[in-house]
Chain A
Amino acid sequence: MVMQQKDRKGFFSRLKEGLSKTRSNITSRVDELVKYYSEIDDEFFEELEEALIIADVGTQTTEDIMRDIRQRVKNEKIGDVSRIKGLLKEKAVSILEDGVHNLTLPSPTVILVVGVNGVGKTTTIGKLAGRYKKEGKKVLIAAADTFRAAAGEQLEIWSKRAEVPIVLHGEGADPAAVVFDAIQSAKSRNTDILLCDTAGRLHNKKNLMNELRKINRVIEREFPEAHKEVLLVIDAATGQNAITQAFLFKETVGVTGIALTKLDGTAKGGVVLAVKAQLGIPIYFVGVGEQVDDLQPFNAGEFADALFDS
């Protein structure tokens, strides 16, 4: 800073020397220059803001983060542009890492997988089954998506790939009944992890959300000794609607974690930052491909890096 002040002084005096006109003329020029500098600052911050918006972080969370960053830049008198970017990442990581789960699950555990249509619930279940099976756990799948055509068949194929048993009723069956059966089966088999697939539903459909509530009730009533996780699956390409989704699913069945899928595309999934900041739901997994191994534990640092690399 001292260096800079010196420079600026020199610059001012040079300006004075160069311009032998009236004083007012000089000051107006200086004003212009100062304005110019502050505009560069604004432009720079705006650029950062754009990066967040483009990554789907959303206006509110972006504003909150930027206010924080501006304050720190001001307080700590940070002038180095690259450091500011670092601060931004730091901030994102601190939001994302707060209260994160270590993902070791006690036995027995029930994982209820929920989400809107087409986000990749069934595929995520298939991958989770493969993952826990590999860890030496006894896994059982409940095919409680009895609505979508051939959802059961799709899950059956995944269960064969992962070599884990599946409880399957026909299309149109009561999903709560499937879960009920699966719980009984899990108890008699001494299953470590029971994975429950559910039909995709838009969070604003009251009846479908009530159906989910019923499934949740069955789990709580029939399997109270089990540890319960409710995994909300969010498509990385989803925009600001993910916040409403998370809010309503949380209200209905108490979402405990998020699986962010399809991160192998160009979408950055930044909306989970907003979901975490505003609703406090941590991200457990990220899906990066169609293979069984393409579901990985969430890493806040890597995620933040990807968020701001355009």
Chain B
Amino acid sequence: MAFEGLTEKLQSAFKKLTGKGKLNEKDVKEAMREVKLALLEADVNFIVVKNLIKKITERAVGSEIMESLTPGQQVIKIVNEELTALMGGSHSKVVMASKPPTVLMLVGLQGAGKTTHAGKLANYFRKQGKNPLLVACDIYRPAAIKQLQVVGEKVNTPVFERGQSDPVQIAREALNYAIEHHNDIVLMDTAGRLHIDEELMNELKTIKAEIKPHEILLIVDAMTGQDAVNAAKSFNEQLGIDGLILTKLDGDTRGGAALSAKAVTGKPIKFAGIGEKLDDLEVFHPDRMANRILGMGDVLTIIEKAQANLDLKKAQEMEKKLRTQTFTLDDYLEQLEQVKNMGSMQDILSMIPGMNSKKLSGIQLDEKQIPRTQAIIQSMTPKERTNPSIINASRRKRIAAGSGTRIQDVNQLLKSYEELKRMMKQMTDMTKGKGRKGKFKLPFM
């Protein structure tokens, strides 16, 4: 959902362009002003915006555009390319050390989300079969160690702590501990600090010199404004960071910090935090993000989500059932379960191309619809589920009472189930060759 404001604005800026056959310099200039304002509103750093606009304008007024048949499209393509390049080209992973443990140090300003993301990273690596260790080097903030311990427990990862003692010493001991206990990844949570706090920055430098972490990751709040570049630049200059983690991207921030951070540090954004749960961590894909900014949708993420959450074998079974017309309400229930695993409908919809926030804002998606439907089906007897035609008025009343819904809801569900069945029948008929007139094509295929 992040960036939707920018998408909206860019779309309106380009609307003027896409209607035109040929562009002149004035057209481009005007559109670029809109782009500039949109980027600034999105908290993209001022200097970054200036450079970006200059680059885009140069390319746009060049022959590339003037001779193109669809100049508007061409401009969008250029903006897209420049945005992607700005955010770091293709995505980059955390490099594992040839000799474990791989040591990652998390640094950043106060409240960016270091401790939470230490936990998320531990969870992420554990899922990959690694054996991480969390290290509590934040000895300043009240209860920071306790927080890391609670988080560590939730993700089933040990936490190394030595109370409020010297963080450099803690880091050193933790490294030995990790080697002894065969932890192949060490995640060091450090105290939040201002980049202009010399004393605390020196502490980080000492830790770095002492334990030589393989990567230093800067945690950046996606809601940060113009100052994001100052902090990122300063951390990079003083410590030499290897990458960034962008947090709180599940807010409605337009997230210009993402664009700016890479530009000023030259370091890639490796992960994005997208929620409060410890699973809510994504590998950051700059190209997809640029597509999203331009309102081109994020089809790749949908496909990946589907692949991760939908069971292929079950899908094949389902297909067979649909073809042979033996699709029951039980199967419908299972289908719903799988869709639910993919995340919130609002999130998924926002990734579909052409689905910009304007269209979405009109629709209040009812996230409870799926659980409600599930409750209705679950209130049916097995017999009713396989043969819905036996559901008469008194059965409907019972089902509605059992699921805490209204009879209309039950009717609605039965009706849409019948419709689905009818549609499936038409589709299978068509593929059998009965409907020769033009191939049936789903809008998303």
Residues of A within 8 A of B (CB): 50, 53-56, 58-60, 116-120, 126, 147-151, 153-154, 156-158, 171, 202-205, 235-242, 244, 262, 264-268, 271, 290
Contact = CB atoms under 8 A, between A and B. Distances in A.
Given A59-B37, A202-B248, A268 B151 contact: no
B228 A237 contact: yes
Given A239-B225, A241-B254, A150 B111 contact: no
Interface stretch (B38-46, B51-59, B170-178, B294-302): B38-46
Given A50-B46, A154-B146, A204-B251, 17 more contacts: A53-B40, A60-B41, A117-B248, A118-B248, A120-B110, A126-B142, A149-B146, A149-B150, A150-B143, A150-B144, A153-B146, A171-B150, A202-B251, A237-B231, A238-B225, A239-B225, A265-B196
Interface majority SS (helix, strand, loop, mixed), chain A: loop
26 contacts: A53-B226, A54-B46, A59-B41, A117-B248, A118-B111, A118-B248, A120-B110, A126-B142, A148-B147, A149-B147, A150-B146, A153-B142, A154-B147, A157-B143, A237-B231, A238-B221, A238-B224, A239-B253, A240-B41, A240-B43, A241-B252, A241-B254, A264-B194, A265-B227, A267-B230, A290-B140
B142 A157 contact: yes
Given A149-B147, A265-B195, A266-B196, A241 B253 contact: yes
Q: 9 closest Cβ contacts across the A-B interface?
A: A239-B225, A118-B111, A239-B43, A149-B150, A267-B227, A157-B142, A150-B147, A154-B143, A153-B143
B76 to A, nearest CB: 22
Contact of A239 (B115, B223, B276): B223
A120 B256 CA distance: 22
A58 B1 CA distance: 21
Interface string B224-257: 1111101100000000000000001011111011
A55 B40 CA distance: 12
Q: In which size bucket is the chain B interface?
A: 35 or more
Contact of B111 (A60, A120, A151): A120
B112 interface: yes
Contact of A268 (B37, B110, B144, B227): B227
Nearest to A239: B225
A237 B225 contact: yes
A148 B37 CA distance: 37
Contact of A54 (B41, B140, B226, B251): B226
Nearest to B152: A149
B349 interface: no
Interface string B129-165: 0000000000011111011111100100000000000
B109 interface: yes
Contacts of A242: 223, 225
A53 B49 CA distance: 12
A149 B151 contact: yes
A237 B43 contact: no
B42 A240 contact: yes
Interface of B: 1, 37, 40-43, 46, 109-113, 115, 140-144, 146-151, 154, 194-196, 221, 223-228, 230-231, 248, 250-254, 256-257, 276
B110 A262 contact: yes
Nearest to A158: B142
B111 A235 contact: yes
A158 B148 CA distance: 18
A265 to B, nearest CB: 4
Given A154-B143, A235-B111, A55 B226 contact: yes
Contacts of A151: 143, 147
A157 B140 CA distance: 12
Nearest to A267: B227
Contacts of A205: 250
B361 to A, nearest CB: 12
Contact of A240 (B109, B151, B254): B254
B45 to A, nearest CB: 9
Contacts of A59: 37, 40-41
